[in-house]
Structure 1
């Protein structure tokens, strides 16, 4: 039986309606929205950039169309012997989604043979995220690299980065230097991987708490080849300010020590983004980890990993054990298509414009209560 699209089925090869009650021009107008929607998808895949924001109805239609390509939704399939994509709840069946998951057991970035639609959604999300990072935030180092989207929180993603570095390292190093911030997640990610945590103390300059570069150098000299990498942080609560990742990346490059940047919610900061480019261009950066919920306003549970070395980022995907949950990718797919690149740019700019007003109001409140606001220049997230 020859392949036919919806237009040819309803209109026919002789351009006359096969449904006698409906005029051909009416069908043509109705089907034009369908073809327009698919053209947005095809342009995204071919141009590697996000389309203009789509209305929610079109996104839901596209999502339904793509999930229908997964094998569990084929009307002629029985699914006998299937190990997964079975739903016992009728509510879950209505909700649908990428129930086959993403990736394969050997690589979270591989295409899932039973889920063609889900695989397309994954590709669109990676294209969209890279488009924003490269063209909105000016991360030019991504032109020859890639992005990995993981259904794991920031801390667990940091652990995967550590394990990937450990696997590729030619040294038997097991120590991780960590520039201290008062937050538990990063500590747990290091210790749960069986690595030895070495805390780099901070330094107080005025009201701000920052990186003690001299202490870092001393620890690198003391522990030598036993150091696998250093984890720095760019997004933190005042009075802590972002680590001096440019200076640190230069030091780590000279010592041949790995560098992972915990950039949990730093994509919103133009100052941090500028530092990121400088660190990549002037020193060593292996992985940058950023949270999806904090930067893209989606439900908690996902992170992106990127860096200047495409091979290293791809190796990270192979470290993920097993197939991954598809809910995080589906949430990002919906948000990227509805908000668009320009929408996220406007959102981040709106937040940046609120900072002066916030500082002034906060300072007034402090003064009225006999207190003073700490001056922490360099932390534009607060």
Structure 2
């Protein structure tokens, strides 16, 4: 929300945004006062716009400069506003009200997605007439003409309720199972530097490999980290299908994972998953490959781990046309022991007034192994022998 407010305050008032320097008079207010909020919400809901509309409370418009943050003093509960608005407006209007701390001050945000119009009151209330369609034009509110109302109905004839399908899959496009048998490795000692056994060198013999290659002294430690992740990894991708008759804009998924049995786990983006290390550094390879790769800042899957105990996975799908499907990059879940995991997911979008919440459960089974260096080498040898056996079968 902070990101959104940073953007909106630089916009000018128009059919999709209205700045209010003070909170609406609501609690204990007269019908005339409360009708101010009602009229503004109706006008934004009926306005001609391409995306979600907003009424920002606690912001003072000072064009051409960004809106000044002045804050609000009085608090209003969303449930009260919902009951008040939808007890009077026809048909039912989808919106939400939230209060946030922004730049040290409390501000209010009324979010109104695009939806079927027109909206009106069956009975007069305060300064609002019955059966009149109010619409926002530019930064002002006016009564819509009959031809304009007809155009609203025609323009929104294909617009329906937002219907979405969220699916979790494996990277190979198969359905994600609910149970995963894995091996969870722990190491009981610091592994030594790697040194390749070599024959005594002939001082009169020229060897190109001695110049081009150097031992990777970190190999055993890197290999241990690679195996620890590879043996326990659960790879997940998210598919979001827009099953509605209207485009969904700014589609986003938020995922929080809970360890239901108090086991530890790690979350990694696909680019962070370790790859199999090499025992030697090859000088020619290092010349051919950059020492680092800049990752895109517009990745569709990002892990926000500022709160280490509850990292949040953010998946951005952008805009999805009716029938279109968005697919995320891979999320690597790395349990460090057996136990159940709960994925709490929230789907957000420009046309969704209240986030859609879903849950998915996974169970990590298998065995844990504590290995010293020699035990790890034996473990690797068994894995390699098993892999060769499967290849020859």
TM beyond 0.5: no
Q: Which has the higher strand share?
A: 2
Q: Which has the higher helix share?
A: 1
Higher RCO by CA contacts (8 Å cutoff, separation 6 or greater): 1
Select the structure of larger CA radius of gyration: 2
> For this structure pair, what is the TM-score category when the shorter chain's length is used for normalisation?
under 0.3
TM-score (norm 1): 0.23
